Structure 1
């Protein structure tokens, strides 16, 4: 109930620890395809001036050699995170020549699947593993699906806040070590976020349409909008849908978020259990790796999820091992579309709202989930992704069906209560203003980004491709107008040079064969 979240933050506001909420920790990872000026997928290598994507701390690639991923450090302020993201965009544009960064989640004009280049990282064992994993994704799901872009939002609470939060909780929670309490609390947030994760695609989803080339002959339920565009009339975030998958293997995968041990065990089983469809692919063909394994998941990252518990790994360490050994360090929100209207794909107001929503998830009650709960979570999310703006849309709760608008309005009341306290901390009324804007989107779906995109396409008689290309060209021109300072340029050039040195050092240190390296990597799962 929102009343519990309101009560808990009210109690915290009466203590000195309340000030810690002023320094929430956040980092941003933003994906963008490199394209030609005409909007075709770039077939060029990762630009040399950007350093090594394997070892650069801020500029890497995701699935494809053409899919940039720009990373900010962790910041205690929204302004700091966005300034860092803006800075790295400007540096990248200084190295792109005539190429663009595609500023939308659904991709540009794609070639045939086999011509989409898989990312390359070098000759070290760890680099070979990253590439082989991506080859496996392409063989399992098709390469086109892996060109979808998104924004991942990494969130954690200031260290000084945890002891005070622990005092608010049950005697059982108070008996835990501080790290175990953090881990328990982050899973508390994750469970609540999953229950209401559909709210973000409705409010901020920005991928209601896609170019026909993305499907490349696959079966789908989309409708034709024009000669080159597919869409669903009330869709909010097709990026988060499942129409791109050629395999239904993950449909029956039930990952448990009740406790860390449950999470580790259920995800581990998916990584060590063979799957018939992937056994048919095989691990090698003519000596070349076709995937890392024949299990349901090659590694943890292959599991499709809206939010993840995270811990920075040590060299060669598996993510589940890091979580088991040292607990959860932060959470990664994965439901944020790249907004084509925004130069960075995200802005201050969206971050303000996401922060309020995550704090609401922290302070609200969070009962454990069973299989029925998980089924409802998946059904609700899929309904909003595909039909979120449909009048009268019904979602499922444990007590029965409920109008999405009624549930969303109740949630916004609780989130606004959080916003009120954040405004008291920061001064002004920005957090409450953002919540009011979301309420207006609820009452008038035409205000949502997904609806605006379709309306602008119709108004300007543009296909999805033409709309996204125009936005990408406009943002590129703006980024190129403002140059970085000499100090900023020097810092990026140094980072690129040092990344190349680290990659070379790793390659010279590889002393065992890749097969042996991979076997040792997977042995860690057996030891969990």
Structure 2
């Protein structure tokens, strides 16, 4: 089961470290009014400058907020940050404002030119205006969960020290590990779409008349109807990844390298061009819909599963470089098919999903992971066998006249009320002070949690 890298990790008894990925979270959510339209209220004044505050920012629209955590050593710590930051945002909303809990946007106006783009820096403002001019405006409005993963340095050290003949230096070993993790997530994106897809329908005016699917699907956001320019990346190597994006910008397929919004992005180096020489510091995963059953859009079990997948990709045989593009192209096609399947239907790829889940269970048993991982795997195995238990299928029960607005508003109000009743709301953001990760940790948590979280906090990976 193990690759050469996996055997080195196993033999050196650092298996536990392969699941100790540092994790940072970015959660996009729209501000809406109580009728389910984008909010017309100004950006909340009490949470700092949306163009400068690294922890609460604006995305494509002025009403699209993003809660960003520092990197933390455990999924639970990352969620602790997220809940406090998200509650701070909720406490700053104007009366009548709510956070939309779904990935697909709320009701949009027929004239989308009336929707206000995010006001940030002059450079980004110009980029957003150009993007809106060139692209389908609606495709910029879906929200999602972004997960930043960075390797435990001990794992990189062990791999490099034991396989020096394979790598010229430690940075090359680290970049290789990130490359095979990225390839794994792109290859099995369809699997995550099946398990966690939660965007079955679009609301009013997202599609033009007679466009879009005629029935609910697993994930509009993860299909070609969803976010992005649909520009395919090259994951065969970091150099190939950079070359592909730069060529796309040169040919005008991308406005700039910043516009590449693939399901996985490499992060590191002082610029994209220099990344192959300076190395990859972490990867950003962008393939999860918001989970409306959580006030912050993601659950701890989902994050545990993502970390398990990352460990599996590190320790098991990787694709041959020559096969990567062909496999990824096939995986993209599979993801499109899974995304557009009816939520309660057995997936075309159920047999393959079942086989892959079995392999993950064997892997988890071999690594002697804790019972919490076994529970996660059992729950997800049930989703494979019973499509009606998937998030998208569960949302169908709340459809009224083809819309999820009543359900979404009820959820949003419930989450808002709970946040306002919380005794642990951080109100320390202002336009004058930009908090570092350590300062944020010190102000967010009680003294008994401060020390632990401050130690696990790394520099922000954004």
Of the three residues 322, 338, 359, the one matched with 1:414 is 359
Partner of 1:440: 382
Superposition pairs for residues 128-139 of structure 1, below 5 Å?
128-139=122-133
Of the three residues 78, 96, 99, the one matched with 2:93 is 96
Partner of 1:506: none
Cα distance in 1 for partners of 2:32, 2:213 equals 25
Partner of 1:270: 248
Sort the Cα spacing of 1:202 and 1:392 in 2 relative to 1 into closer, same or farther, 3 A.
Answer: closer
Cα distance in 2 for partners of 1:187, 1:11 equals 18
Structure with bigger gyration radius: 1
Cα distance in 2 for partners of 1:342, 1:102 equals 12
Cα distance in 1 for partners of 2:187, 2:7 equals 23
Matched, 1:115 2:107: no
What is the SS of the residue equivalent to 1:296?
coil
Matched, 1:383 2:375: no
Cα deviation code 1:390-437 (max 9, x no counterpart): 75644xxxxxxxxx112111211222234336664xxx4001110111
Matched, 1:243 2:225: yes
1:97 Cα deviation after fit: 2.1
Contact 2:160-2:169 within 8 A present in 1 as well: no
What is the SS of the residue equivalent to 1:301?
helix
Contact 2:2-2:316 within 8 A present in 1 as well: yes
Higher mean C-alpha deviation, range 353-362 or range 322-331: 322-331
Partner of 2:407: 467
Sort the Cα spacing of 1:254 and 1:96 in 2 relative to 1 into closer, same or farther, 3 A.
Answer: closer
TM-score by length of 1: 0.76
Cα deviation code 1:337-365 (max 9, x no counterpart): 10111111111101011111121122222
Of the three residues 135, 145, 151, the one matched with 1:151 is 145
Cα distance in 2 for partners of 1:375, 1:16 equals 36
Partner of 1:478: 418
Partner of 1:298: 255
Superposition pairs for residues 172-211 of structure 1, below 5 Å?
172-173=165-166, 175-211=167-203
1:51 Cα deviation after fit: 1.1
4+ runs deviating over 6 angstroms = none
1:81 Cα deviation after fit: 0.5
Unmatched runs of 5 consecutive residues or more in structure 1: 122-126, 224-230, 274-294, 395-403, 501-528
Sort the Cα spacing of 1:261 and 1:422 in 2 relative to 1 into closer, same or farther, 3 A.
Answer: same
Matched, 1:358 2:310: yes
RMSD: 2.5
1:23 Cα deviation after fit: 3.0
Matched, 1:73 2:62: no
Higher mean C-alpha deviation, range 110-119 or range 446-455: 110-119
Partner of 1:281: none
What is the SS of the residue equivalent to 2:156?
helix
Contact 2:201-2:402 within 8 A present in 1 as well: no
Cα deviation code 1:28-55 (max 9, x no counterpart): 0000001112221012321111211121
Which structure has the highest helix share of the two?
A: 1
Contact 1:202-1:388 within 8 A present in 2 as well: no
Higher mean C-alpha deviation, range 34-43 or range 100-109: 34-43
Contact 1:22-1:422 within 8 A present in 2 as well: no
Higher mean C-alpha deviation, range 363-372 or range 298-307: 363-372
Partner of 1:59: 56
Cα deviation code 1:59-109 (max 9, x no counterpart): 001101110011000000111110100001111112112211111101111
Contact 1:52-1:499 within 8 A present in 2 as well: no
Matched, 1:333 2:320: no
Unmatched runs of 5 consecutive residues or more in structure 2: 436-462
Contact 1:186-1:331 within 8 A present in 2 as well: yes
What is the SS of the residue equivalent to 1:240?
coil
Sort the Cα spacing of 1:391 and 1:206 in 2 relative to 1 into closer, same or farther, 3 A.
Answer: closer
Cα distance in 2 for partners of 1:340, 1:18 equals 34
Cα distance in 2 for partners of 1:462, 1:449 equals 17
Cα distance in 2 for partners of 1:371, 1:358 equals 20
1:327 Cα deviation after fit: 1.1
Superposition pairs for residues 28-43 of structure 1, below 5 Å?
28-43=25-40
